[in-house]
Chain A
């Protein structure tokens, strides 16, 4: 040891030992490591508490370490992560499937529901694909685009957008928004501290969130909740934390802000419109029931209306073809048919006509005025009603002529002749086809009975056979006389007495007369009014000078004399 060293020991002994100790700790790697290890946990903790710089600093090296470790020993880390990855993957798949199923449900529901049909029509009118239109209607809000813009120069730092969004030149949009922002600030903020924070454009809302070096502009479809602004602010803060310095110095080189889009992706949030799911089934069932009820009701009333229309037409047709009915109006009020017009009392009843087409009397409101129809059918009917023709007699009307055919009693025909002109619509009578059978029969009977002879034995005593025959003849003749009067004839009876001419002519003359009188008496006893019409046959006999026992008779001469017509 040199004197100098000794002197140092004397003067700085303690300090020198401390310096040596420090030097040893600095020079010796193991000691330094032990010291760092001693304070490292506390240092990390303090650094982390102080700011986020430690995390930022460790992100890349730790990331690289992990990459190397996973690459070198994937099996070990795979095993270690298995308990975490399995549930995470399942959760992710379930989430994706749930979303997919929800989309399918909504698509199906909206495709066939009235609302879906309405949307489809509206989408067609707007020229927008149905899927996109449905999404617009189904979403409460969706962040369509997010622009991260440098506040310094308005350059676009990063931009993300939803797949379905229509994107124009994002750099131009970014610049223009900055220009507008500058314009608003310079124009309307006296101290130039104001900021444009939101703008509305039709269905879109622009929200601008301002950071120290960048502003985050989000294009939002729908109505975003207020809480979204806070979430966007957090994202912007995080971006500033990661890229603050790079953004401040940003001059247009996107490589200086790597993966900034990953952060921006978190802005693309959306929220579906909440349907009232609790009541949805109930409402749906109610809607279906209401729809069914509506359809049934519509079908019922439709059928009833159709049926009523059909009945209406049938009733009009039925009433139009009926003689004696003149229908001026057939109207329907609900189920009741109102019929107005004129009706001949002899025409069919409206109720009866309606019944034939299936309309009940209670569904009719008939208001018909009486009138006398001159339709041929009605004139014929009226003639029948007035004249009361016997069966077998046919009435017809041609123009103003009443045509009567068939066989009718002579007396009825007399009434026909006297009264046909009193029937409205009848001026002439055609009775050429009309016969009077009863009159013909009387004529025939009288013809048969005419010339009957009753023989006498002697004097005024009839032979036995003639006596009986005379009685019967007288009875028949009485009846015939009555019947002849009924058919317009008076029966004239003349009796011609005859003798055989033997003996005194005067006596024979008397005898002949007496014989005629005796027969006449028999006729009178049967109600016949016989005039004195006896003749003497012996005039001829005498003149012929013949004597014939067969000439002892009385011969009946009958004649029908028409009675004058009744006026």
Chain B
């Protein structure tokens, strides 16, 4: 099985659950305790695409939350093969931040495969995103998932999808 590696950056506003989503994806764990990420945190996780004979290793850069990136954060994103945008389904401004970040990144580095994770799906009573808005986001980001880092809902699916997009974009065209 061929092993390929890709750089994936996780971006989004403060406290939307970026680190928790990655923790769930990489270690299948969740903690209610909030620890803010300083700078960037790196994890890796392999996803196997048996049909393609590819083992895809994602080097995940969990970038500190922000609604707009400065030079340092943008430097972290350089060369990324894909992005995971994360927003908080209970806070609508974070959806706006995700769109702004998407635009900023695209302007800086061009487009790349990405997925949008509207997180905290487990907080149903506080959920603020209507289905129409979700469709709108899907139209913008391409792939949108209602995830929950706490329960693990859709996290694996979203990551696998992103991996497929990257493999398709970077390794199957060659």
Nearest 6 pairs of A and B residues by beta carbon: A153-B79, A252-B5, A182-B75, A152-B79, A186-B72, A175-B42
Q: A171-B57, A171-B59, A252-B4 are in contact. Are A153 and B81 (CB under 8 A)?
A: yes
Most buried by B among A150, A154, A172, A251: A251
A371 at the interface (CB under 8 A from B): no
B93 at the interface (CB under 8 A from A): no
Give Cα A185–Cα B71 distance, bound, in whole angstroms: 10
A543 at the interface (CB under 8 A from B): no
Residues on B with C-beta less than 8 A from A192 are 71
Binding site for A on B (CB under 8 A): 2-7, 39-40, 42-44, 57, 59, 61, 71-72, 75-76, 78-81, 170-171, 174
Q: A179-B76, A182-B72, A183-B72 are in contact. Are A155 and B42 (CB under 8 A)?
A: no
B164 to chain A, nearest CB (A): 15
A–B Cβ pairs within 8 angstroms, 29 of them: A152-B78, A152-B79, A153-B7, A154-B59, A155-B5, A155-B79, A169-B44, A171-B59, A172-B42, A174-B59, A175-B42, A175-B59, A176-B42, A179-B40, A179-B42, A182-B76, A182-B78, A183-B39, A251-B171, A252-B4, A252-B5, A252-B7, A252-B171, A253-B2, A253-B4, A253-B171, A253-B174, A254-B4, A254-B5
Q: Is the CB of B42 within 8 A of A252?
A: no
Most buried by B among A154, A169, A185: A154
Residues on A with C-beta less than 8 A from B80 are 153
Give Cα A185–Cα B75 distance, bound, in whole angstroms: 9
Q: Is the CB of B170 within 8 A of A252?
A: yes
Write the chain A residue with the least CB distance to B72. A186
Q: A152-B78, A154-B79 are in contact. Are A171 and B5 (CB under 8 A)?
A: yes
B64 to chain A, nearest CB (A): 11
Residues on B with C-beta less than 8 A from A182 are 72, 75-76, 78
Per-residue interface assignment for chain A, residues 149 to 186, with 1 indicating a CB less than 8 Å from any chain B CB and 0 otherwise: 01011111000000000000101101110010011011
The majority secondary structure among interface residues of chain A is: helix
Write the chain A residue with the least CB distance to B79. A153
Residues on A with C-beta less than 8 A from B39 are 179, 183
Q: A155-B6, A255-B2 are in contact. Are A186 and B171 (CB under 8 A)?
A: no
Most buried by A among B5, B40, B43, B44: B5
B45 to chain A, nearest CB (A): 10
Q: Is the CB of B72 within 8 A of A187?
A: yes
Give Cα A192–Cα B5 distance, bound, in whole angstroms: 27
Q: A153-B81, A176-B42, A182-B75 are in contact. Are A251 and B61 (CB under 8 A)?
A: no
Give Cα A351–Cα B72 distance, bound, in whole angstroms: 95
* Option from B61, B72, B79 in Cβ contact (under 8 Å) with A150: B79
Residues on B with C-beta less than 8 A from A176 are 40, 42
B174 to chain A, nearest CB (A): 8
Residues on A with C-beta less than 8 A from B61 are 154, 175, 179
Q: Is the CB of B170 within 8 A of A251?
A: yes
* Option from B3, B6, B43 in Cβ contact (under 8 Å) with A172: B43
B55 to chain A, nearest CB (A): 11
A351 to chain B, nearest CB (A): 88
Q: Is the CB of B59 within 8 A of A172?
A: yes
Residues on B with C-beta less than 8 A from A156 are 5, 59
Additional A-B contacts beyond A150-B79, A154-B78 (6; CB < 8 A): A152-B78, A153-B79, A171-B59, A185-B75, A253-B4, A254-B4
Q: A172-B44, A183-B39 are in contact. Are A252 and B79 (CB under 8 A)?
A: no
Residues on A with C-beta less than 8 A from B43 are 172
Give Cα A186–Cα B71 distance, bound, in whole angstroms: 7
Q: A155-B59, A251-B6 are in contact. Are A186 and B75 (CB under 8 A)?
A: yes
B65 to chain A, nearest CB (A): 16
Give Cα A171–Cα B8 distance, bound, in whole angstroms: 12
Per-residue interface assignment for chain A, residues 29 to 71, with 1 indicating a CB less than 8 Å from any chain B CB and 0 otherwise: 0000000000000000000000000000000000000000000
B10 to chain A, nearest CB (A): 12
B112 to chain A, nearest CB (A): 11
Q: Is the CB of A171 within 8 A of B78?
A: no
Give Cα A171–Cα B45 distance, bound, in whole angstroms: 10
Write the chain A residue with the least CB distance to B2. A255
Per-residue interface assignment for chain A, residues 367 to 381, with 1 indicating a CB less than 8 Å from any chain B CB and 0 otherwise: 000000000000000
Give Cα A255–Cα B80 distance, bound, in whole angstroms: 19
Residues on A with C-beta less than 8 A from B42 are 172, 175-176, 179
B137 to chain A, nearest CB (A): 27
Write the chain A residue with the least CB distance to B171. A253
Q: A169-B44, A182-B78, A252-B81 are in contact. Are A175 and B72 (CB under 8 A)?
A: no
B8 to chain A, nearest CB (A): 10
Give Cα A154–Cα B6 distance, bound, in whole angstroms: 10
